[in-house]
């Protein structure tokens, strides 16, 4: 109680509130803009914090951090382009729902899910941060590798009907992550002697190229396609209360998986959304409809990626170990402001921690409002003439691809990915498997290699790991069970036909 009062005294100022509102609004907008992800949004805001108080700069950054993930869902739903990598899975059900004329409802589902994920993970953060921080360090390379492997099986679900195309896409994605410097040996691979390729490829330019740029190029090549906004019913509509209550299991599963994976350092929101989506594909009562505009898909993606925000704050604040790219920059800013997250913060400055919790709570509430407002603004923007709209997407995409690293190779990669994206669209290859491959490839290889080094070159280290083993078993079950089922039903069918 004393800490709460101390926190209120320290943080409930007009400056802090203003910084939170500005942060939350900028976070939402940056999330919507294709290419402007969480990290880019934070970096752009960084210079402003130099003149601000410690409390206000924390507020600004927490506001951006919490809301930018949510903003990405709006562009995923409306223009088939995830605004942030974390929203890549939102495209799968969000866009079909929008095409069916229910864009307002899709945004409603995404908002409710994001809010639920954010609040759930915050509650966990408040109750159990120090305890869960201990759990997080117990997950070694083998265990995290097992989780990433599980997430990769999502490629199979997303490739139904064209399994070979999907798996090829996944392989290409994984291969792309091997270009450039290898983090664990320092060796350079597939750089073809080029100095700029040495830095390797990153996810964002590829993602922007495949989704946003290829959309622009495709529409330019195919003029006369209908204007986006008109038939979609863009706006904001909350789903019916009964609909939400009946899906409580989906919410609970997505929030728990998201929070949990968020806690594991370096695993990230992409893995969380794909693990959750795979789980929904297996356990949701509406699993047959996933991928066609099913709310369960939106819940799986949006509740889990926002739950990661609270989860990732646990090791960041409690251990000083950032959980993802966003928390890395967040930690940098707190350090500049003289607040050292970690040991000292938990033990000697609990009011700063409590203050951070309050700000996350308020940021989630503002996010809800920002969603309602920006959905309506977006409605107007989508009514703009198509060439203007496409021009804007093109500009923001290229800026977004460049801004994080400032490396010119990212622009070239983005354009190449855009052209490849058009070819893939025409050839009817699914795009998501490539993105999953790139998103998870880095950590997949890193943890595999680390595990191998730790066990001195023996694969038994992975099987002997008490946490990894059950996850491997679960992964195997999830692959094998549907195959056996299908076999059985084919056998039953042929028997039926024979009789």
Partner 1 sequence: MPKSLGLLAAVSMVLASTTAMADYPERAVTVMVPFIAGGGADVPARFLAAEMEKELGQTVIVTNVAGAGGTVGATQLSNAEADGYNLGFMPVGTTTTQPHLRGTSYGVDSFIPICMVASGPFYLVVDPASGISSWDDFAAKATGEGLTFTGAAPGSLAHVTSVALGAMLDTEIQYLPTKGGGDAVNELKGGRADATAWFSDYDVRFGLNALAIFAPERSELQPEVPTTGEFGHPSDIAVWMGLFAPAGTPDDVVARLDSACETAMATDGFKGNMEKANREIRHMNSADFTAFFREAFEANGELLRNAGLVKE
Work out which of 81, 111, 136, 267 binds partner 1, going by CB under 8 A.
Answer: 136
Work out which of 5, 18, 138, 476 binds partner 1, going by CB under 8 A.
Answer: 138
Q: How far is CA 116 from CA 59, 100, 139, 299, 419, in A?
A: 21, 25, 26, 9, 38
Work out which of 344, 388, 419, 487 binds partner 1, going by CB under 8 A.
Answer: 344
Nearest to 54 by CA among 334, 376, 312: 334
What's the closest the beta carbon of residue 156 comes to partner 1, in angstroms? 28
**Which residues inside 163-202 make contact with partner 1, applying CB under 8 A?**
180-186, 188, 195-196, 198-200
What's the closest the beta carbon of residue 201 comes to partner 1, in angstroms? 10
Strand partners, 481: none
Residue whose CB is less far from partner 1, 336 or 426: 336
Nearest to 187 by CA among 427, 449, 1: 449
Residue whose CB is less far from partner 1, 193 or 223: 193
For the CA atoms of 320, 325, 331, 334, what is the dihedral angle to 10 degrees?
-170
Selected range binding partner 1 among 39-47, 204-212, 304-312, 418-426, rule: CB under 8 A? 39-47
**Which residues inside 419-458 make contact with partner 1, applying CB under 8 A?**
446, 450, 453-454, 456
Work out which of 95, 115, 120, 139 binds partner 1, going by CB under 8 A.
Answer: 139
Q: How far is CA 298 from CA 82, 258, 269, in A?
A: 13, 13, 14
What's the closest the beta carbon of residue 174 comes to partner 1, in angstroms? 18
What's the closest the beta carbon of residue 186 comes to partner 1, in angstroms? 4
Residue 324 lies near partner 1 (rule: CB under 8 A): no
Residue whose CB is less far from partner 1, 35 or 320: 320
Residue whose CB is less far from partner 1, 54 or 99: 54
Tokens coding 230: 């008109």
Residue whose CB is less far from partner 1, 320 or 371: 320
Tokens coding 318: 């409690």
Work out which of 108, 341, 421, 430 binds partner 1, going by CB under 8 A.
Answer: 341
What's the closest the beta carbon of residue 166 comes to partner 1, in angstroms? 29
| CA-CA-CA-CA torsion sign (88, 89, 92, 96) | negative
**Which residues inside 107-126 make contact with partner 1, applying CB under 8 A?**
none
**Residues 420 and 209: beta-carbon distance below 8 Å:** yes
Residue whose CB is less far from partner 1, 41 or 366: 41
Residue 336 lies near partner 1 (rule: CB under 8 A): yes
The C-alpha R_g of the chain, in whole angstroms, comes to 22
Work out which of 293, 320, 421, 430 binds partner 1, going by CB under 8 A.
Answer: 320
**Which residues inside 258-297 make contact with partner 1, applying CB under 8 A?**
265-266
Give the interface size with partner 1 as a residue count (CB under 8 A). 55
Residue 351 lies near partner 1 (rule: CB under 8 A): no
Strand partners, 189: 180
In terms of Cβ atoms closer than 10 Å to its own Cβ (0-12, 13-18, 19+), residue 162 is middle
Residue whose CB is less far from partner 1, 113 or 188: 188
Work out which of 5, 8, 18, 137 binds partner 1, going by CB under 8 A.
Answer: 137
Selected range binding partner 1 among 272-280, 302-310, 362-370, 405-413, rule: CB under 8 A? 405-413
**Which residues inside 385-404 make contact with partner 1, applying CB under 8 A?**
404
Residue whose CB is less far from partner 1, 183 or 494: 183
- Using CB under 8 A as the criterion, which residues of the chain lie in contact with partner 1 when the complex forms? 39, 42-43, 46-47, 50, 136-141, 180-186, 188, 195-196, 198-200, 265-266, 315, 319-322, 328-329, 332-333, 335-338, 340-344, 347, 404-407, 446, 450, 453-454, 456
């Amino acid at each position: 109680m004393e800490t709460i009062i101390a926190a209120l005294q320290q943080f409930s100022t007009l400056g802090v509130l203003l910084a939170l509102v500005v942060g939350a609004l900028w976070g939402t907008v940056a999330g919507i803009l294709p290419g402007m992800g969480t990290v880019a949004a934070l970096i752009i805001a960084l210079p402003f914090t130099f003149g601000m108080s410690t409390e206000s700069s924390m507020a600004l950054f927490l506001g951006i951090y919490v809301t930018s993930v949510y903003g990405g869902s709006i562009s995923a739903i409306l223009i088939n382009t995830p605004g942030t990598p974390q929203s890549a899975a939102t495209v799968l059900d969000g866009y079909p729902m929008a095409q069916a004329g229910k864009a307002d409802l899709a945004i409603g589902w995404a908002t409710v899910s994001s809010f639920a994920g954010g609040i759930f993970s915050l509650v966990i953060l408040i109750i159990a941060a120090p305890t869960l921080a201990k759990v997080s360090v117990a997950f070694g390379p083998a265990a995290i590798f097992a989780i990433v492997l599980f997430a990769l099986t999502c490629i199979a679900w997303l490739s139904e009907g064209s399994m070979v195309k999907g798996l090829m896409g996944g392989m290409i994605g994984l291969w792309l992550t091997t270009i450039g410097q290898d983090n664990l040996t320092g060796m350079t691979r597939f750089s073809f002697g080029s100095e700029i390729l040495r830095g390797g490829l990153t996810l964002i330019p590829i993602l922007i190229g495949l989704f946003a740029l290829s959309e622009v190029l495709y529409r330019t090549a195919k003029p006369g396609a209908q204007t986006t906004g008109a038939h979609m019913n863009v706006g904001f509509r909350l789903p019916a209360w009964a609909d939400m209550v009946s899906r409580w299991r989906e919410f609970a599963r997505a929030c728990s998986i998201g929070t949990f994976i968020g806690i594991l350092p370096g695993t990230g929101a992409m893995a969380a959304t794909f693990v959750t989506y795979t789980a929904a594909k297996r356990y949701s009562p509406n699993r047959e409809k996933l991928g066609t505009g099913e709310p369960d898909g939106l819940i799986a993606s949006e509740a889990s990626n926002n739950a990661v925000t609270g989860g990732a704050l646990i090791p960041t604040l409690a251990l000083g170990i950032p959980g993802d790219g966003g928390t890395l920059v967040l930690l940098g800013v707190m350090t500049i402001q003289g607040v050292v997250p970690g040991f000292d913060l938990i033990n000697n400055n609990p009011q700063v921690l409590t203050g951070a919790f309050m700000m996350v709570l308020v940021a989630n509430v503002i996010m809800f409002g920002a969603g309602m407002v920006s959905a309506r603004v977006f409605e107007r923007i989508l009514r703009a003439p198509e060439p203007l709209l496409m021009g804007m997407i093109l500009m923001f995409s290229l800026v977004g691809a460049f801004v994080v690293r400032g490396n010119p190779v990212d622009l070239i990669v983005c354009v190449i990915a855009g052209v490849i994206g058009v070819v893939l669209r025409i050839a009817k290859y699914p795009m998501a498997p490539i993105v999953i491959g790139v998103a998870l490839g880095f950590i997949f290889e890193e943890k595999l290699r680390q595990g191998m080094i730790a066990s001195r070159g023996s694969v038994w280290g992975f099987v002997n790991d008490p946490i990894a083993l059950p996850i491997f078993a679960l992964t195997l079950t999830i692959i094998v069970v549907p195959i056996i089922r299908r076999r059985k039903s084919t056998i039953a069918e042929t028997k039926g036909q024979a009789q």
